[in-house]
């Protein structure tokens, strides 16, 4: 926060009190005679005085700023023994304050972005800017150069991991760079900066890009079988036994009824996750799209699902992009699974009564009818299913989306259709082909074998001379 001091000197102090320095804005003329605004930054008033003097000496029209230098000398003398935190009587216009990088990033995140971007985008930017350390955050925005940022990106790559100090992936460093470009573009739009030097930097070469993880057909079947059986839930037999015993009792205590409803909720979730995994593999939908589905989006006549919402942070929001709002065709078997799940959810709701309140009409909910908490689902159920099915730890729920695309492409479905089903935005086909290049290479080899077989058949059919 900047506290005004005498003669146009500002005292900056971070919220944590760790950094404190002085800033004075002076106006100098360059070689061509153009008048330019120049913020001078220093840790002490004495150092500030020297820097201002040097800047004015270099200025072609230094006389114009002579009063600034005299005033600053007087300020140093008057405040030599004063407490730095004491606010003095006079101040200058706030328009003459220059930002440090950390202050501008905070301003951008808290005052400019809210209401103009989606909540997920704001969270993403906030997370990426956490990789900026105190040293670079404390530097004047106008003093930073492309070399400063390029060096910092290399530093992030080598020792940027927050907890361990180990290497960061190139993808993360590139994401930090992209976020900074957006932040500094906004600074230019708001008259805080004249040049975005981050754009002058070079993105790091992406040599460590991870390959996508997906399931083979056999692995997909194994995961479905584990999800359907529910055996990955270690206390499943005990839960079933308690439910049966409670239902056979004529008189049930309030405590027994509460435990019974909780057990029914467990069975509800175990059954639900099977339907979720089947739908993910059958449609390639994103997790937010699946958990944001509401009853009424399904069309049993045309066998389609209409994606109208996305679940983010427990709230229903619009789909990720325009192309994400789409209609996906579904096979009859999976449509029947969806219908049977609807019937089961209605029976469960009737059984537990007020325990279940599905105010949004969600197709998939927690045991109380509220939106699914993805982290809870992943940690308590999905990761356990993956382990029980003997699958690699690299398999995530998003891997089911990759599995859907891979299986379709390997079966000969064209890239345009796959791209449309996945809801890829922009030049979707090109992105799809780039993402699933491994499948296309495999298809190319099969094509070579196929044409080879055709030529081989011609040789066999060719009559002897």
373 lies in some domain: yes
Overall pTM > 0.85? no
pLDDT in tens, 378-387: 999 999 999 9
Pair 260, 379 in one domain: yes
pLDDT-derived band at 120 (thresholds 50, 70, 90) equals confident
Residue 30 domain-assigned (yes or no): yes
pLDDT at 68 over 90: no
Looking at the domain assignment, is residue 48 inside a domain? yes
Looking at the structure, tell me whether residues 128 and 264 fall in a common domain.
no
Q: Which stretch of 120-129, 262-271, 320-329, 429-438 has the lowest confidence by average pLDDT?
A: 429-438
56 with 108, same domain: the answer is no
Q: Tokens at residue 250, please?
A: 């004529």
Range 305-327 average pLDDT: 89
Distance CA 48, CA 10 (A): 11
Residues in the chain: 465
CATH number at residue 307: 1.10.443.10
Q: Is the pLDDT of residue 67 over 50?
A: yes
Report the Cα–Cα distance between both ends of the chain, in Å, rounded. Answer: 95
Same domain, 184 and 47: no
Number of domains, the chain:
3
Answer yes or no: do 231 and 127 share one domain.
Answer: no
- In this structure, is residue 244 part of a structural domain? yes
Same-domain status, 84 and 107: no
Is 167 within the bounds of a domain?
A: yes
Do 383 and 268 belong together in one domain? yes
Break the chain down into helix, strand, coil percent, rounded to 5: 55, 10, 35
As a whole number, mean pLDDT of residues 374-380 equals 94
Q: What is the pLDDT of residue 83?
A: 43
191 lies in some domain:
yes
| Domain annotation covers residue 440 | no
**71 and 127 inside one domain:** no
Q: Where is the domain boundary, 56, 71, 96?
A: 96
- Contacts of residue 111, defined as CB under 8 A and 6 or more positions apart, other chains included, come to none
Contact 176, 201 (CB under 8 A): no
Asked if 193 and 306 sit in the same domain, the reply is no
360 vs 46 pLDDT, higher one? 360
Domain contains 424: no
CATH number reported for the structural domain that contains residue 193 in this entry: 1.10.150.130
Per-residue pLDDT of 182-203, as tens digits, reads 999 999 888 888 899 999 999 9
> Do residue 306 and residue 381 come from a single domain?
yes
| Domain end position, chosen among 396, 419, 438 | 396
Same domain, 136 and 239: no
Q: Answer with the one of 333, 368, 396 that is the final residue of a domain.
A: 396
pLDDT at 351 over 90: yes
* pLDDT for 358 beyond 70: yes
Q: Which domain holds residue 330?
A: 217-396
CB atoms within 10 A of CB 88: 16
Q: For residues 52 and 65, state if they share a domain.
A: yes
- Per-residue pLDDT of 142-186, as tens digits, reads 889 999 999 999 999 988 776 677 888 888 999 999 999 999 999
């Amino acid at each position: 926060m900047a506290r005004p001091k005498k003669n146009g000197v500002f005292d900056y102090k971070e919220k944590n009190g760790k950094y404190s320095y002085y800033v004075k804005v002076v106006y100098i003329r360059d070689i061509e005679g153009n008048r330019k605004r120049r913020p001078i930054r220093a840790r002490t008033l004495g150092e500030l005085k020297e820097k201002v003097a040097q800047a004015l000496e270099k200025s072609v029209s230094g006389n114009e700023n002579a009063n600034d230098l005299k005033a600053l000398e007087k300020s140093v003398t008057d405040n030599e023994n004063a407490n730095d935190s004491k606010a003095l009587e006079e101040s200058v216009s706030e328009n003459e304050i220059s930002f440090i990088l950390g202050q501008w990033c905070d301003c951008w995140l808290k005052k400019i972005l809210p209401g103009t971007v989606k909540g997920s985008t704001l969270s993403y930017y906030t997370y990426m800017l956490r990789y900026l350390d105190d040293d670079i955050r404390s530097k004047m925005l106008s003093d930073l150069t492309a070399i400063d940022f390029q060096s910092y990106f290399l530093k992030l790559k080598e020792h940027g991991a927050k907890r361990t100090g180990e290497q960061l992936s190139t993808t993360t460093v590139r994401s930090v760079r992209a976020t900074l470009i957006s932040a500094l573009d906004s600074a230019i739009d708001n008259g805080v900066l004249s040049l975005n030097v981050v754009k002058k930097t070079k993105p790091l070469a992406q040599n460590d890009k991870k390959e996508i993880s997906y399931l083979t057909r056999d692995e997909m079947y194994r995961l479905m079988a584990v999800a359907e059986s529910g055996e990955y839930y270690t206390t499943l037999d005990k839960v079933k036994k308690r439910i049966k015993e409670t239902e056979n009792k004529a008189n049930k205590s309030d405590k027994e009824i509460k435990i019974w409803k909780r057990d029914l909720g467990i069975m509800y979730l175990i059954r639900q996750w099977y339907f979720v995994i089947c739908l993910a593999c059958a449609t390639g939908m994103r997790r937010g799209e699946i958990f944001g589905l509401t009853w009424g989006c399904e069309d049993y006549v045309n066998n389609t699902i209409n994606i109208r919402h996305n679940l983010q942070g427990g709230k229903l929001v619009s789909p990720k992009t325009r192309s994400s709002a789409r209609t996906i065709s579904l096979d009859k078997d999976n449509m029947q699974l969806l219908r049977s799940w609807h019937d089961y959810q209605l029976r469960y709701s009737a059984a537990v009564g007020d325990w279940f309140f599905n105010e949004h009409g969600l197709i998939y909910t927690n045991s109380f009818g509220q939106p699914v908490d993805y982290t809870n689902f992943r940690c308590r159920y999905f990761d356990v299913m993956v382990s029980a099915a003997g699958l690699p730890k690299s398999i995530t729920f998003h891997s089911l989306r990759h599995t859907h695309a891979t299986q379709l492409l390997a079966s000969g479905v064209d890239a345009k259709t796959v791209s449309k089903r996945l809801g890829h935005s922009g030049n979707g086909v090109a992105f799809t082909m780039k993402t699933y290049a491994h499948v296309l290479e495999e298809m190319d080899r099969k094509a070579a074998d196929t044409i080879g077989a055709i030529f081989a058949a011609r040789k066999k059919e060719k009559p002897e001379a």
